[in-house]
Structure 1
Amino acid sequence: MNSYDVAVIGSGPGGYVAAIRCAQLGMKTAIIEKYSTLGGTCLNVGCIPSKALLDSSHHYEDAVKHFEEHGIEIPGDIKVNLEKMIARKQAVVDQTIGGVDFLMKKNNIDVYQGLGSFKDATHITISGDETTEIEAKNTIIATGSKPSSLPFINIDKERVITSTEALKLKEIPKHLIVIGGGVIGLELGQVYKRLGADVSVVEFMDRIIPTMDAGLSKELNKVLKKQKFKINASHKVKSVERVGDEVIVKADNKKGEEVEFKGDYCLVSVGRRPYTDGLNAEAAGVKLNDRGQVEVNDHLQTSASNIYAIGDVIKGAMLAHKAEEEGVFVAETLAGQKPHVDYNLIPGVVYTWPEVAAVGKTEEQLKEAGIEYKKGQFPMRALGRSRASMDLDGFVKVLADKTTDEILGVHMVGARAADMIAEAVVAMEYRASAEDVSRMSHAHPTFTEAIKEAALAATDDRALHM
């Protein structure tokens, strides 16, 4: 029987990063993956493939709607080859998975393919083509999450689908009904809207992206409506029925009236649930809470002292980069170091176009906590860079402590917001004030000038270009 210092169950961003860091710190490491490829949801059926399709569909939309204005003339009709687009997406996925395979070999990490199941706290059975058992002094559970559904919905994976199937459709929907106005539903909804589908979003809460700052939700709602999305907030879905090639969704609006939506595809995007199926956690003395999450303490240690858990399978935002930070945290803890993760400074991003990004506290959270704050906001359309690229929608908002001027939150909608948010994370990591950021030189012309201007606006309303 092979023995290891650390075994990692699950090879998503949290799991494979944890394994690499453990190996770097001199621990003999194994990683166990249920599926035939490494990378978990993110690399195989999540972050990477969805961004590939978002980029491809964005190119198509630009060609159809904007090239002529840029002085680019293309003779003949511009057509979508969906099969080729999906194939390119898969090529990106395959290349990325190959990169993870390389990193496992480079760091001398043993890879086991099969379902990892606890026999006890130090022994794991791996059921694949053949059954293997390994011994591990410490184990990191990184088994991730799966798409959630509603109890009355039958997901047939043909017409009533999850994000997994939405990444490999054989045709462009005529009318895609998206149940859930969160990150995944809006991103995939935008892919198919650009390619020609009608898209109706049905959201239970009173606004889309309900966990983010209300200002971001309002701005994105305005932009998506301009793009001809049909947004139906405060709608409680009560039935989803497939009749042949048609899907009928019935919901009650906020007045209690029944509303019916008919489409040829329905994407169920109501969040994700922790995935612990087959883990046999109880055999190792690992407790789960009533939401199916693995219970951990501040050191990400489970009720079994030698077993840790990270990523989507524990509490907190289900984000790949959160899982990565936690993976490094556990590895360094096992090595006797004193790492830390500041959950307030883990950014959130929606990869629609314009992109949405945020870090720190929302206005709603600051009000609820009774913290006095000041706000500086700057519109993207006031930037020369935005006018040059025709990306005029959105804004940057900086929230700072009213007394100390320390930045408490940064929220933005706009082109390249996903990349720009890193500046805010760095500033807040070093506890910068709004004035600190306002006095930094930002290259001109860039989108990031909006951050400087918003910081100026938060500092005695000193924005220069507004």
Structure 2
Amino acid sequence: MVHSERFDVVILGSGQGGKLLAWDLGRSGKKVAVVERRWVGGSCPAVACLPSKNELWSAHVAHVVRNAARFGTHAEELRVDMPKVWHRKEAMIEREIAVHLRAYKESGVELIMANGRFVGPKTIDAQLNDGGMRLLVGEEIVINVGSHAAIPDIPGLRDARPLTHIEALELDEVPPHLIVLGGGYTGIELAQAYRRFGSRVTIVEPGSQIMAREDPDVAEELRSVLSGEGVEVLSNAQPLNVHGLSGDAVTVTVQAESGKRPVEGSHLLVAAGRVANTADIGLDKAGIALDGRGFIRVNDRLETTAQATWAIGECAGSPQFTHVSVDDFRIVRDNMAGATRSKSDRVVPHVVFTDPPLARVGLSETEAQRQGMAVRTAKLPMRNVLRTEATDEKDGFMKVVVGSADDRILGFTVIGADAGEVMAVMQMAILAELPYTRVRDAVIAHLTVAEGLGPLLGSLPARSF
């Protein structure tokens, strides 16, 4: 008979929010255990955010070298060494693992590598990866199990053994022709990267535009950038079936506007959304309810339907960004201590790490219109930002959404160089509830991309009274 072990807090999953909470609680003197089935530190440093941006940067370097002659530097030979790209990424992951293990040791938190499953309220059966099991009971429980790539129910797709974002980062060769199912941020980031490594790339998007949640002009600008680099984008293309094997030869038959057509390639990447990792972990035995999409049902305090049980990150239906999981950590930490912190009032930004990147915070023009809000908008091409005269980074534009009857900044989008950094300026203005005129009239350093905020905001139509 296995005897139960008692902890102040047991955290199932070691993603960004969960591990930060664990370390914080551990340093405060709490007895904390983290149960992680596979990746020390969760997916972000192992197979997602950091590794993908590592390889995207390698692709960026290849692109710069390929186009160096235009800037007066002649590189006579370009050869992409994919094993070297892979080893560079793996070395970063190993460094991250070491940092995480040190943080666990210094905080006094016990990291248990195991498959965890609820067998009752606040009770987890941990099947250890190296054999054996432990029964863990927590005064409080936090669920931080994340999500995984969805595989759509398309005939032949599973049998084709498609790549997800995880396997795409394990390739040690340049695919001759990569087919990408899905035009969301993961699909287009990897599509552009592999095109820059030398692959022929085709994106198959069932909807009318890539980046479905963005304004049509934003999606069209990004499509233009990709097409300009030789990425084929098929929109309104519904996959009907898949034949062959990814890594060998694969054919996706699509229903396009012009009729049925085959898309033939060597490799197939699926980037068609995410599924919460909530199946088969015994949530019903712990009294933890799910919503209609399979995510854990939580209130604005991130409490589940079970007593003293919380959920953090993607599995709780939070926006699928690491920085949101970090904020989830702060919410749960403070509410555990008796605060009344809520997720309902946060301003969540996002960045798509294409080149140029796409960044947005607050409402898009489409969202404002859908909500029936009267707004003013202004748009500034990046070619009108003086910085781009020096760098030739002229693709994209800035776009702002401001209330018609007041001067509140409601949203900001930018496709262009340093997009994430420029967007953060507008995020701070939104958080501070500054009228747009304060940013318009700010003395912003020359020669920066953020300097473009002045002429952008200066071009807004006058307020309606």
TM-score range, shorter chain: over 0.9
Q: Which moved more, 1:96-105 or 1:8-17?
A: 96-105
2:149 to 147, 150, 167: 147
Q: Which residue of 2 aligns with 1:464?
A: none
Shift of 1:254: 3.7
**Letter paired with 1:288:** L
Give the total of aligned pairs.
457
Looking at structure 1, the residues matched to 44 and 351 of structure 2 have their Cα atoms a distance apart, in angstroms, of 14
Shift of 1:263: 0.3
Q: Secondary structure at the match of 1:124?
A: strand
Decide whether the 8 Å contact of 2:189 with 2:354 is kept in 1: yes
**Letter paired with 1:431:** E
**Letter paired with 1:406:** R
Q: Which residue of 2 aligns with 1:402?
A: 404
Residue correspondence of structure 1 range 68-107 to structure 2 within 5 A: 68-74=69-75, 76-107=76-107
Q: Which residue of 2 aligns with 1:455?
A: 457
Q: Secondary structure at the match of 1:305?
A: coil
Q: Which residue of 2 aligns with 1:360?
A: 362
Q: Secondary structure at the match of 1:458?
A: coil
Residue correspondence of structure 1 range 32-111 to structure 2 within 5 A: 32-35=35-38, 37-65=39-67, 67-74=68-75, 76-111=76-111
Looking at structure 1, the residues matched to 31 and 215 of structure 2 have their Cα atoms a distance apart, in angstroms, of 44
Q: Which residue of 2 aligns with 1:419?
A: 421
CA deviation vs aligned residue, 1:305-327 (integer Å, no higher than 9, x gap): 21111211122421111111112
Decide whether the 8 Å contact of 1:21 with 1:328 is kept in 2: no
CA deviation vs aligned residue, 1:204-236 (integer Å, no higher than 9, x gap): 111001012323212111111111111111111
Q: Which residue of 2 aligns with 1:215?
A: 217
Shift of 1:156: 6.3
CA deviation vs aligned residue, 1:58-98 (integer Å, no higher than 9, x gap): 01110111x22222233x41211110111101111221232
Decide whether the 8 Å contact of 2:155 with 2:240 is kept in 1: no
Q: Which residue of 2 aligns with 1:123?
A: 123
Looking at structure 2, the residues matched to 143 and 33 of structure 1 have their Cα atoms a distance apart, in angstroms, of 9
Q: Which residue of 1 aligns with 2:334?
A: 332
- Cα 1:375–1:26 change in 2 (3 A) is farther
Looking at structure 2, the residues matched to 108 and 337 of structure 1 have their Cα atoms a distance apart, in angstroms, of 25
Give the RMSD, CA atoms, in angstroms.
1.9
1:268 to 255, 267, 270: 270
Q: Which residue of 2 aligns with 1:112?
A: 112
Q: Which residue of 1 aligns with 2:255?
A: 252
- Cα 1:332–1:207 change in 2 (3 A) is same
Looking at structure 2, the residues matched to 434 and 459 of structure 1 have their Cα atoms a distance apart, in angstroms, of 12
Looking at structure 2, the residues matched to 254 and 18 of structure 1 have their Cα atoms a distance apart, in angstroms, of 50
2:315 is the counterpart of 1:313: yes
Q: Secondary structure at the match of 2:65?
A: helix
1:289 to 284, 288, 291: 291
Looking at structure 1, the residues matched to 102 and 159 of structure 2 have their Cα atoms a distance apart, in angstroms, of 33
Looking at structure 1, the residues matched to 453 and 358 of structure 2 have their Cα atoms a distance apart, in angstroms, of 14
Looking at structure 2, the residues matched to 384 and 357 of structure 1 have their Cα atoms a distance apart, in angstroms, of 20
Give aligned-pair identity as a percent.
Answer: 29
**Letter paired with 2:255:** D
Looking at structure 2, the residues matched to 2 and 41 of structure 1 have their Cα atoms a distance apart, in angstroms, of 27
Decide whether the 8 Å contact of 2:160 with 2:242 is kept in 1: no
Decide whether the 8 Å contact of 2:318 with 2:325 is kept in 1: no
TM-score, normalisation: structure 2:
0.94
Shift of 1:112: 0.9
Decide whether the 8 Å contact of 2:24 with 2:107 is kept in 1: no
**Letter paired with 2:110:** D
2:31 is the counterpart of 1:28: yes
5+ residue gaps in structure 1?
462-466
Decide whether the 8 Å contact of 1:393 with 1:413 is kept in 2: yes
Looking at structure 1, the residues matched to 126 and 55 of structure 2 have their Cα atoms a distance apart, in angstroms, of 34
Q: Which 4+ residue blocks in structure 1 deviate beyond 4 angstroms?
A: 153-159
Q: Which residue of 2 aligns with 1:439?
A: 441
Looking at structure 1, the residues matched to 423 and 28 of structure 2 have their Cα atoms a distance apart, in angstroms, of 30
Looking at structure 2, the residues matched to 164 and 342 of structure 1 have their Cα atoms a distance apart, in angstroms, of 32
TM-score, normalisation: structure 1:
0.94
Decide whether the 8 Å contact of 2:159 with 2:245 is kept in 1: no
CA deviation vs aligned residue, 1:84-142 (integer Å, no higher than 9, x gap): 11110111122123222222222221111101111211221111122011220111110
**Letter paired with 2:106:** K
Looking at structure 1, the residues matched to 452 and 458 of structure 2 have their Cα atoms a distance apart, in angstroms, of 10
Q: Which moved more, 1:241-250 or 1:164-173?
A: 241-250
Q: Secondary structure at the match of 2:459?
A: helix
Looking at structure 2, the residues matched to 452 and 159 of structure 1 have their Cα atoms a distance apart, in angstroms, of 50
- Cα 1:214–1:39 change in 2 (3 A) is farther
